[in-house]
Amino acid sequence: MPDDVPLLHADSALIVVDKPAGLLAVPGRGEHLQDCAATRVQARFPDARVVHRLDQATSGLMVFARGLAAQRCLSRAFEERRVAKRYTAVVSGRVLDDEGSIDLPLACDWPNRPRQQVDPVRGKPAQTIWRVVSRDAISGTTRLELQPITGRSHQLRVHLMAIGHPIVGDTLYLAPSVFRASRLMLHACALTIPHPLAEQPMNFSSATPF
């Protein structure tokens, strides 16, 4: 596996990698979008199967199953919310409260897909818990720890934008000239997941690169 997709763990049922920002999680449409974390992992582990995804712009922990039985087991764990995920984000503005939660339903913004939007009529339930890690008065930003309870597409990005604190570097939801950054400041830094065979919780972590 190329060095730019670090392998953190591999056994007979489970693979965990640290996906870099800018790399697709799974293949896109067209030959030019075939290079991704999944194909790179499968080049070394042909039985690797996708369990969940990260946005192309997001870095951090990504899990693969080895074989269909393990994939079904891990997918069920995600569906039943037996997987704990934690992210680090840098958002624009000074977040005044020290912690809180966001409960806003999300749906696809079809005319502008892949963008998502808050939609109280058609949206699916989505909840995010957040906690302030630090505030930077000079840059006018706040570093947050995020815990998504649900796993909707672009959930963290849309939820934070909805409360007035978009993630720095998010060019999909903000004009490129706003909050300039070399990348989207969102990283999947911690993951606890039940092992598909032994069923004991497995804990993984990845240092935030920003």
- pLDDT tens sequence across 23-39: 999 998 877 778 999 99
Provide the mean pLDDT of the chain: 93
- pLDDT tens sequence across 139-195: 999 999 999 999 999 999 999 999 999 999 998 988 555 557 889 999 999 999 999
Instruction: Give how far Cα 42 sits from Cα of 30, 37, 101, Å.
Output: 19, 9, 37
For the purposes of burial, counting CB atoms within 10 Å of the CB of 176, is it exposed (0-12), middle (13-18) or buried (19 or more)?
exposed
Residue 3 has pLDDT above 60, yes or no: no
pTM above 0.75, yes or no: yes
Amino acid 32: pLDDT: 78
With a pLDDT cut of 70, the percent of the chain lying above it is: 96
Residues annotated as catalytic (active site), given as ranges: 55
User: CA–CA separation, 84 vs 23, rounded Å?
Assistant: 23
Segment 85-106 shows an average pLDDT of: 97
The answer to which of 88-92, 107-111, 117-121, 180-184 has the lowest mean pLDDT is: 180-184
User: CA–CA separation, 117 vs 102, rounded Å?
Assistant: 14
Amino acid 61: pLDDT: 98
User: CA–CA separation, 29 vs 12, rounded Å?
Assistant: 30
Amino acid 83: pLDDT: 96
Q: What is the dihedral of CA 60, 66, 71, 73, to 10 degrees?
A: -100
CA angle 40, 41, 44 (to 5 degrees): 95
- pLDDT tens sequence across 38-84: 999 999 999 999 999 999 999 999 999 999 999 999 999 999 999 99
Q: Which domains does the chain have, with CATH numbers?
A: 7-82 (3.30.2350.10), 86-186 (3.30.2350.10)
Amino acid 178: pLDDT: 57
User: CA–CA separation, 198 vs 202, rounded Å?
Assistant: 10
Amino acid 175: pLDDT: 59
Q: Are 185 and 210 in contact (CB under 8 A)?
A: yes
